[in-house]
Chains A and B, each alone.
Chain A
């Protein structure tokens, strides 16, 4: 073998041009057919599977959710007071935290690393720019651009589905049948019944809190349930764990609705949304209006960054979808190697609208930060329950219609604190 290896002459000769061209065509065809292959479940939602090199599959075999919870538990342990300033200063030096802007500045007041990780900033530490879209968090811009053919580019040459990210059924599939409770059923807003105050139109039925008449047989029922039911559903996952099921997790509707209308109308003016645009069931698909594009931007938060997130624009959050998923690292290293990373991981899709149309914000969890908090949604519990009980693509949905009768959702101004990521 050694002799053959050393003494056999290498003779190079050209392949016929036609054979080379044919090979390239076959490779290109296979690549295209693989990229376009989409598997959907019976609800029309795309089924996403783990794809990537062998080391991604090795990481995927690890009990990441359990590791994340252990990590959270360890970091919630109370540290001795004498150790806190030393420990947090070492952490700050290692991960580049600016201790001059934290509130409170006294490091002994943070009982654990988990508390320090979820620290607040002093008022005025983050001035809000005069622009329509501002950063919701401290971090690094990974990628941004225009969404084409319903695909978001993760890295150069690798895309994932917008529908899968937000839990939207594919247009060519039958819509999921919503599960609802007849005693609480309300019909879709009838666009014929609106009044006008200070130049802003609003629904009379929203104003008065009365059920709306069905509109030409095309109405879609919307679930409204008591707070107790919402809590049960969110905690146990038994009542609302399949896609298409909804609960109302917003603040219970105030009985004195007329008193809140002035505030809501004022907020509508600031947010720049005409309440007539409200459709209660507007997220079965994302359609871009003529003259508009659908854009995306991805921001990565490193371990040392401030981990609360704020509203990036003036908008109304109409609903949230909690997708129980894996908890892979979302570092740029992993984003380059694991396809569909942001669709596989646990995430909370907040869906709503702003003055230009559709708007959504999706905090995506990771191994070290599996817990996502939303300040105006006390029923949300992330990184709990078993992964096998929640197939990829399924979600629990809550609607915030009770938060503002006129705007039909939770209004947020630019820079408002919305929630954050916690360790574990």
Chain B
């Protein structure tokens, strides 16, 4: 199963993860 998030955010939004990284519920994915 997979979850796709699609969202609008300001230009200065940055992802805080890398491709292939394991994540857990509540872990930061990105921030402004």
Contacts and interface: CB of A to CB of B under 8 A. Distances in A.
Interface string B1-32: 11111111111010111111111111111111
B23 A138 contact: yes
A277 interface: no
B16 to A, nearest CB: 7
A140 B22 contact: yes
Interface residues of A, number: 63
A307 B1 contact: yes
B4 A342 contact: yes
Contacts of A299: 2-5, 23
A142 B28 contact: no
A358 interface: yes
Residue of B6, B18, B19, B31 contacting most chain A CB atoms (<10 Å):
B6
Contacts of B26: 126-129, 134-135, 310, 414-415
A140 B19 CA distance: 8
Interface in A117-134: 121, 126-134
B6 A143 contact: no
B3 A363 contact: yes
Contact of B5 (A136, A288, A301): A136
Given A128-B26, A136-B5, A359-B7, 19 more contacts: A126-B25, A127-B26, A132-B13, A133-B30, A140-B23, A142-B19, A144-B17, A152-B4, A294-B7, A299-B5, A330-B2, A356-B8, A356-B9, A361-B5, A362-B5, A364-B1, A364-B4, A414-B26, A415-B26
Interface of A: 121, 126-144, 147, 152, 162, 165-166, 286, 288-289, 291-301, 306-307, 309-310, 312-313, 330, 342, 354, 356-366, 369, 414-415, 421
6 contacts: A126-B24, A131-B16, A132-B31, A299-B2, A301-B1, A310-B25
The 10 A-B pairs at the shortest CB distance, nearest first, are namely A357-B8, A128-B26, A131-B28, A129-B28, A126-B25, A131-B31, A135-B23, A362-B4, A421-B1, A358-B8
